[in-house]
Amino acid sequence: MDLCSPARKAAGLLLTSLALWAAAATAAPGDPLGPPTIVSLQPGQTEPNDVIASSTGVRVFWTAYTPVAGYQTLFAGDGTRLSGDLAVPDTYNASPATAADGRHVVVQHRSDTGRTRLIARRHAADGSLSGPELEVTDPALVARPTEVGLPRVAMNAAGDFIVVWAQRKSVGVAGPTACTIGFGRPRNCLGLYQTQILARRYTGAGTVAGEITPVASASYLTAMAADLGIEALGPEVNFPSVALADDGSYAVAWTQYSEATNLLRNRQVKLRHYPASGTAPLARTVEDSGAHAAPEVALDGLGNILVVYRKHPFGQRALASLWLRRYASSTSNALGAAVRVDGGTQLEQASLARIAVGTAGAFAVAWNAPDGVRLQRYAAGGFATGGNIAVSGAGSYHDYVRVAAHGGRLAVAWKQSPEPFSPGQVLVRFYEGP
């Protein structure tokens, strides 16, 4: 082979980048490995779906909107770019997860049969497809009135993985088509709906490991009278997150909320931990005061459960705060009280927090604050190491924060735009040590 050929140069770049990933750090834990990098090489609006990290590097999954299409970009752990914009079909709402060796799975919506379903694709460490695609949702689902929410997926060291999602369907006397809608128009109907958090497990070989598991279920009544807007008499469950341990046990966190009217609302953060046997335990209430966005769940290096959530009085995001609570996986009991993550910084913007756990068990939480993207590092036992780190600069709008960890390195991705709801771009920044 010609030593100067493009293929040889690419191989050399890959080996060099992987060596940098595994090499001893010259920067102190928490130090950035360079400035933020724009992920996409093409112009136009983009936003991140997720980011995963393994021994083969970092994969940032993102969506472009001109036209709508899914992509991924590969980086080494030190931030060296390893690829251009790689198209990933049907993954504009991708939810990926990876094993430490680089094998990974991507789950996304598909509506090509007239109904929404979830499809999982397994990939080898080099990104090539590994086996046929898998239909996660029940093939018997009808297009309407069943609705399938955004999926989340987790994978362990063996390549086994679990998918969770929310599912909503009409089960009442009058379905959604019986209600008229629109400002100033009568809205007279009565509907009964069921919402569920569902989970499905797979082996590393892609075979189903048991039936679909109902993690949580609730029914609510919607009563719409002329111009009154009285609706959603809860409870309702939504926004699940999942973490999977190497022994097959897993934890799911979600939001449960109730509304007596559109002015009287209550939200709770719930947690359920399943041992490898799959026995369903009682759900724990992590937080039951204020309004909560989607919680995040992870497992630390000691096998304990981490739940990160945001709370604020309903309608008062300027008073929001970010909290972390730990639970023992052996008993599902809380390990002390919840601790505040954001150091007193108010979270006026609506972006959710994410957790990344490193190979040594230390972890980090990334979130969006009024002054930009922030990062807080923790030791495996749940103790904060250092203060909040400013990942991005102020003066722009930041959203969709994502974070991943592997091999003593962290990657934080986010959307940055001039103002809310305006076109923006995906940025990523790399750090030494969780």
Q: Which segment of 35-39, 50-54, 312-316 scores lowest on mean pLDDT? A: 312-316
The yes-or-no verdict on residue 180 having pLDDT over 70 is no
The yes-or-no verdict on residue 182 having pLDDT over 50 is no
pLDDT band per the 50, 70, 90 thresholds, residue 265: low
The confidence score (pLDDT) of residue 245 equals 94
For the domain spanning 6-432, the CATH number is: 2.130.10.150
Mean pLDDT of the chain: 82
Rounded to an integer, the average pLDDT of 74-102 is: 90
pLDDT cut 70: percent of the chain above it = 79
Rounded to an integer, the average pLDDT of 213-242 is: 73
The yes-or-no verdict on residue 229 having pLDDT over 60 is no
DSSP string computed for 94-128: -EEEE-TTS-EEEEEEE-TTSS-EEEEEEE-TTS-
Report how far residue 232's alpha carbon sits from residue 286's, in angstroms, rounded to the nearest whole number. Answer: 23
The yes-or-no verdict on residue 148 having pLDDT over 50 is yes
Q: Is 236 exposed, middle or buried, given 0-12, 13-18 or 19+ CB atoms closer than 10 A? A: buried
> What are the extents of the domains in the chain?
6-432
pLDDT band per the 50, 70, 90 thresholds, residue 54: very high
The confidence score (pLDDT) of residue 11 equals 40
Q: Which segment of 15-29, 158-172, 280-294, 318-332 scores lowest on mean pLDDT? A: 15-29
Tokens encoding 45: 């609006």
Rounded to an integer, the average pLDDT of 402-406 is: 95
Q: For residue 19, what is the enclosing H or E element?
A: helix 6-22
pLDDT cut 90: percent of the chain above it = 48
